[in-house]
Chains A and B, each alone.
Chain A
Amino acid sequence: MRRMSVFPQHGTALETLGLTANEIRQEVENKTSELVSDLVNLSAGGRFQAIRSLPMSFNERKTIRNRVNSVKLSKTILSADCRQQVSRSFRRFRASLASARQHLVVWQDTLKEIGGRFGTSVLSYFLFLKWLLKFNLFSFLINFCFITIPQIVHAPNISSVTGFRGLELLTGVGYFNQTVLFYGGYNGEVIVSTPAYNMQLAYFFTIAAYLVLCGVSLIYSMSRSFQNNFVLETGPVSGGAWRLLCSWDFGVVNEKAIQYNKNNLGIQLKESLSERLQEKNKTSLSDRIKRLSLHLLAWLLSLGLALGSGAGIYFLGTDKLTFNFDNDPNDLKAEASTLLLPVVVSLINLIVPLLYSLISKMESYSNPRAQIYISIIRNVVLKMSLLGILCFYWLNFVPNKISCWESFVGQSVYRLLIIDFIFCLIGIFFGEFLRNVIGTMCIQSLGVPEFDIARNVLDLIYAQTLAWIGIYFSPLLPVMQVLKLFIIFYLKKISLSMNCQPPKHTGRAAQIQTVFIALLFFPSFVGTLSMVAFTVWRLRPSDQCGPFQGLDTPFYAIFNWIDSIQDPPESKWVWWIFENVLRSELFYYLITLIILVITFFLWQITQGRKQLIKTLREQIVNEGKDKVFLLNKLQTIQKQRREMASYIPQDFDQTTHFNTNWMSTLPFEM
């Protein structure tokens, strides 16, 4: 009878009431009919999801499902067989789609192994990597199909072709200069074929469509993640109840990892107990001032380091603006000197975060979560300031000084990505392998390095930002990013198994995941979008190369196209929408106003719901007390009833008299 109860909490109540077996069966039958009628009224998708989520054994669920299906069938007009066939084949089709999608899932076994040995928080890094891989693969596919293939088929005349030397792989100039890898290899002509294919529009719309899709996908993931992880009021992390009942990772299957997690849990419980037992000393004013001044000093140092690196890059960049295509293409030394900037950037990205972790060691934090968030903020400020300085330099100085400046920017991004990849490999070798060797053999106190999830994810976000910036200037750049992510996945996995151990504090992994997605959207994607928008809207494209040669700004291609479709009457509505809706400011003011009003309403609804949750929680407390009270009262009455009933056979006369009294005193209409 253990799993027969439909709802776990009602099971005991029915039994303690002392109902007979018949009555229990009747009650269960009533509940089942109610359930079936509720299910029949849901939509098809919701119905099956509800059936799957019923907390019963499989056979009971199957019975309910069969009953629901027969009720549905009896309600239909068409013949039962036909309808059943149609719905069954439709469901089979959906299920086969789901299993076909599973075929495309790559790395399923590897991810299971990583999750089994290192837990879900380390697994989240690899899932993030896989997600970024999907973005880049999609970008490569649409760029290749819509921009590169037409260009290759109608190849423009390439003015000077230099031979292939090895240095091109690193610097991207020379042989690669006039190929379709960079902006300069594309031509803006209209390809004469049965529908005329306008290369300018194709280039513009492909990149715009990709960026819009990326943005939509990011916003969707961010809001889903936020809804799952942040919306409900969250309790304290250091609570014993949470740690005991919710934090154990069931997915870890490796014996050593489980032992490691057990040790960690024991240590954390001991710490939280000792914190509780210790009296909370009131921090004196001087202590607080000291702590605050340390924090201030640390922030000043961090910001100073970030600004200093930015200024250094700026001066280095403006100094080295010498390599032009007009130079002798065989001047290897000048070409190699273009690698200096990327190397310096990557060195800064490697060393300054280490300095940041040293600085944070000197501060004392009351809350380990605050420490993680502050270190993430500092690293993000550093990386975004570096990228910001580079973009400023590329968009302000380069267009005036170099003839085919978009290709130059594309090549700079290419160099940055390649050198970043090489430094990542060096980082794996020194940071993890050598550190493990040192930690285990030479200096025992250091121990095995922990896998630092935050730093690794921020590196991924930085590389992805570079890739997104480079898409406009070099449409095939995502290929490199795809290859890079593939190689990094396998190398990180190998290094993880050989060298690292999982991080000790894994609380709140889900919330940190949301923060990472938000970081990917907010500084990274939005920054890229604004940079590309500025390039397309304001900057003058180079005159000698690229699809937008001769126009004032690349956006003029759209203006010209809109003007051209003004005349034929069937496409006049497109022109009308463009001129009067998209180009008028009133439209944008109205939309902003409407969105603000809707946001205000939704915010008020959220406040109301929070109040409701609080009230409902109090109600749970009260209902618990009510239930205990009522059960006790019911049990006393049952006991009295049984005691009275046991007097009946003894004294007939007295009991009749007694019985009538008894019937009038007890309240039956409970």
Chain B
Amino acid sequence: MGNKQTIFTDEQLDAYQDCTFFTRKEILRLHGRYHELAPHLVPMDYTNDPDVKIPLALIVNMPELKENPFRNRIVESFSEDGLGNLSFNDFVDMFSVLSEMAPRELKAIYAFKIYDFNVDNYICKEDLEQTLNRLTKEELTPEEVVLVCEKAIEEADLDGDSKLSFADFENMISRAPDFLSTFHIRI
């Protein structure tokens, strides 16, 4: 690598490498992708840590997220303010958790946040219904939707409060070895 990049200082790149699952090259590439999303907002020089956030509407237009049924929830779960405006650190964080090197426990925590639509730290029946509506548009009748959600809660609820807490969710994830490979977005 002959050219010395001036986007980040060496300390910043070290911090990124220590705190996320990406290497220096990948961080620089991610910065390029972040910059592409809003070229007039995002400066090329990040050495003094500018406070720049890209709004939700621009981020969900990325090809990796555009067609995903949960794109809004994914971006909201990683944003500081809960509204979906991501700084570069949040952006890197998002793809780091969704990469293949993140461990199962970490992915389970964020998957729980994504499916928790009303942000009350529980996946209740309404959250499940919203999930189901995003996954199948016209296939199921409203009664079938209610039935499926009830059955799902019945199966997974361990402590009997008719909603899924994080422990119930994690227990279910531990029985699904495919989760590691399906909860994965390549960038």
Q: Which residues of A contact B (CB under 8 A)?
A: 2-3, 8-9, 11-12, 48, 51-53, 55, 57-59, 61-62, 65, 88, 91-92, 95-96, 98-99, 102, 112, 115-116, 120, 228-230, 232-235, 239-242, 244-255, 258, 262-263, 265-267, 269-270, 273, 276, 507-511, 617, 620-621, 623-625, 627-628
Contacts and interface: CB of A to CB of B under 8 A. Distances in A.
A62 B69 CA distance: 31
B46 interface: no
Contacts of A51: 18-19
A358 B15 CA distance: 59
Interface string B121-159: 101000010011001110110001001110111011011
Chain B interface size, as a band, is 35 or more
Contacts of A96: 24
Which of A234, A242, A263, A621 has the most chain B CB atoms inside 10 A of its CB?
Answer: A242
Contacts of B132: 244, 269
Which of B66, B92, B121, B131 has the most chain A CB atoms inside 10 A of its CB?
Answer: B121
Nearest to B150: A240
B23 A241 contact: no
12 contacts: A48-B18, A95-B23, A95-B24, A233-B175, A239-B155, A241-B152, A241-B172, A246-B178, A251-B184, A254-B67, A263-B139, A269-B136
What are the 3 tightest A-B residue pairs by CB atom distance, in nearest-first order? Answer: A624-B159, A266-B139, A58-B89
A260 to B, nearest CB: 12
A91 B16 CA distance: 12
Contacts of A120: 178, 181-182, 184
Contact of B19 (A62, A116, A230, A233): A62
Contacts of B113: 8
A252 B103 CA distance: 20
A216 to B, nearest CB: 24
B186 A115 contact: yes
A232 B174 contact: yes
Q: Is the interface of A mostly helix, strand, loop or mixed?
A: helix
Interface of B: 14-15, 17-21, 23-26, 63-64, 66-70, 80-82, 89-90, 92-93, 96, 98, 102-103, 105-106, 109-113, 115, 119-121, 123, 128, 131-132, 135-137, 139-140, 144, 147-149, 151-153, 155-156, 158-161, 165-167, 169, 171-186
Contacts of A251: 181-182, 184-186
B178 A247 contact: yes
A242 B19 contact: no
Given A53-B103, A58-B89, A620-B158, A273 B147 contact: yes
A232 B137 contact: no
Contacts of A65: 15, 18-19
Which of A230, A273, A507 has the most chain B CB atoms inside 10 A of its CB?
Answer: A273
Contact of B67 (A258, A267, A270): A258
Contacts of B165: 9, 624
Contacts of A246: 172-173, 176, 178-179, 182
A233 B174 CA distance: 8
Nearest to A233: B175
Given A249-B182, A258-B69, A269-B139, 13 more contacts: A2-B82, A53-B105, A99-B23, A120-B184, A228-B180, A232-B177, A239-B152, A245-B169, A250-B70, A269-B148, A270-B139, A270-B140, A620-B171
Contacts of A249: 182
Which of A8, A91, A250, A624 has the most chain B CB atoms inside 10 A of its CB?
Answer: A250
B158 A250 contact: no
A240 B20 contact: no
Which of B103, B135, B178 has the most chain A CB atoms inside 10 A of its CB?
Answer: B178
Contacts of A58: 19-20, 89-90, 92-93
Which of A266, A509, A628 has the most chain B CB atoms inside 10 A of its CB?
Answer: A266
Contacts of A509: 178, 181
Contacts of A242: 155, 172, 175-176
Contacts of B156: 241, 245
B182 A232 contact: no
A584 to B, nearest CB: 44
